[in-house]
Structure 1
Amino acid sequence: MTTDETAAGAPAERPDRPQRPRLRSDNEPPVLVKEPPPFAVRLCQLLWVLSFVVGGVAVVYLFVVRTDHLPSITDAIKVVDGSRPDDTYAMAADIVYWFTFGFMVALLLAQITQLVSFMSRKPGVRWWQLATLIAQAGLYALALEVVGDGEQGEQLRRLMLLQCGLVALALLAGSVRPALTWTARRHDIRRGVVGASMPDL
């Protein structure tokens, strides 16, 4: 383009203008988000819930058959020492029954609390769950020596063993690597802003 053309009013070529700076930084702040837990954690949660259902059925069953099952408990106590009066055996049977019933209820409440803590990713919950399983297995084995006789006792034995098996499987599912990683992370974090993102200006 000649000088005369430029002077006549034709626009002169200008270098490209620099881009306007972004008003948002790429280094966005961390934001807490709620991501779904991995499959292992969901499986662990399902197994725990199933164990609660079985434990609840066992508690209700033990309460319903109390009158019919007390003679079996009394006979089991008489095997240990048969020289006591009948009233003593009846009282001992009541003590054994209510101790077993109360322990099963307390165990259910403790395990429900521990599951809530586990799903909240509280540290060290698995050790408490393992300790609960060990206590459950030991005391169940001891209780079944007394309350596990008779037709009602056999049904109760199946329910207790099924509950312990489900708890053991739940602990195994909650101890695989994806579940351990999910717990160790404590919080799900992403980079961004809370709510809808602002458009670039």
Structure 2
Amino acid sequence: MLRVPPPRPPVVHPSTAPVIATMPPPFAVRCAQLLWVVGIALGGFIAVYLFVIRETQLPLIADVVRAVTEGRPEETYESAADIIFWIFFTAIVLVVLMQITLLVSFMGRRRRIRWWQLATFLIMVCLLLFSRELVAVGERGSVLFPLLAIWCGIVLLALICSVLPPAMTWSARQYDLRPGPTGPLHSDL
């Protein structure tokens, strides 16, 4: 007696699981990314420039401190100028490092990252106002205020691009999915 083999199971199922795909981000996200990179580069340039002009700025900062209170020893003014300069310099470097970290998190679609980016922008505005009074003095220091203002403008544009509807949808999706394979199991080999 001839035995008939049982029917084989199908190798394709109509309800295959979706597959994580790598799709390019929308234009708004690419614009935000480009603006963040330009802003980070400008912030790095500002930090380097500030470090280069440090020796010429310290006496000018000491003069600003001297105008506030007179009659102190000269070492006090020099120490105050050092403290003000290094606080300002460290704040700029920390903002740049935070923005690098936040950009990586933004491109990784982390939730609520735009609030942290907004916080760095607010810190930058404070640095801009602080620099006007204490650090951006003298011939070389007068370049700092416009550079900081441009940096704030670039970061503001990056924030605006990152909250446009396509960018918000892209972030909320978390993962790009496409339908699973529809052919035989070994067609990808």
Give TM-score, length-normalised by structure 2. Answer: 0.89
- Partner in structure 2 of residue 189 of structure 1: 177
- Partner in structure 2 of residue 162 of structure 1: 150
The CA distance in 2 between the partners of 1:144 and 1:100, in whole Å, is: 12
The CA distance in 2 between the partners of 1:116 and 1:169, in whole Å, is: 18
Letter in 1 for 2:50: L
1:151 aligns with 2:139: yes
Provide Cα deviations, 1:73-128, integer angstroms capped at 9, x if missing partner: 11111121122111110110000011111111111001110010000000000011
The CA distance in 2 between the partners of 1:142 and 1:192, in whole Å, is: 56
- Partner in structure 2 of residue 58 of structure 1: 46
Count of matched residue positions in the alignment of Structure 1 and Structure 2? 179
Residue pair 2:32, 2:161 contacting (<8 A) in 1 also: yes
Residue pair 2:39, 2:154 contacting (<8 A) in 1 also: yes
- Partner in structure 2 of residue 14 of structure 1: none
Aligned pairs for 1:60-99 within 5 A: 60-99=48-87
- Partner in structure 2 of residue 3 of structure 1: none
Shift, 1:193, TM fit = 3.6
Shift, 1:197, TM fit = 6.5
Shift, 1:159, TM fit = 1.3
- Bigger shift: 20-29 or 185-194? 20-29
The CA distance in 2 between the partners of 1:189 and 1:197, in whole Å, is: 19
Letter in 2 for 1:189: L
1:122 aligns with 2:110: yes
- Partner in structure 2 of residue 112 of structure 1: 100
1:175 aligns with 2:163: yes
**Consecutive aligned runs of 4 or more in structure 1 exceeding 3 Å deviation:** 20-23, 196-199
**Which structure 2 segments of 5+ residues have no match?**
1-7
Letter in 1 for 2:131: A
Aligned pairs for 1:17-32 within 5 A: 23-32=11-20
The CA distance in 2 between the partners of 1:178 and 1:168, in whole Å, is: 18
% identical equivalent positions: 45
The CA distance in 1 between the partners of 2:29 and 2:160, in whole Å, is: 10
Shift, 1:22, TM fit = 5.5
- Bigger shift: 49-58 or 77-86? 77-86
**Which structure 1 segments of 5+ residues have no match?**
1-19
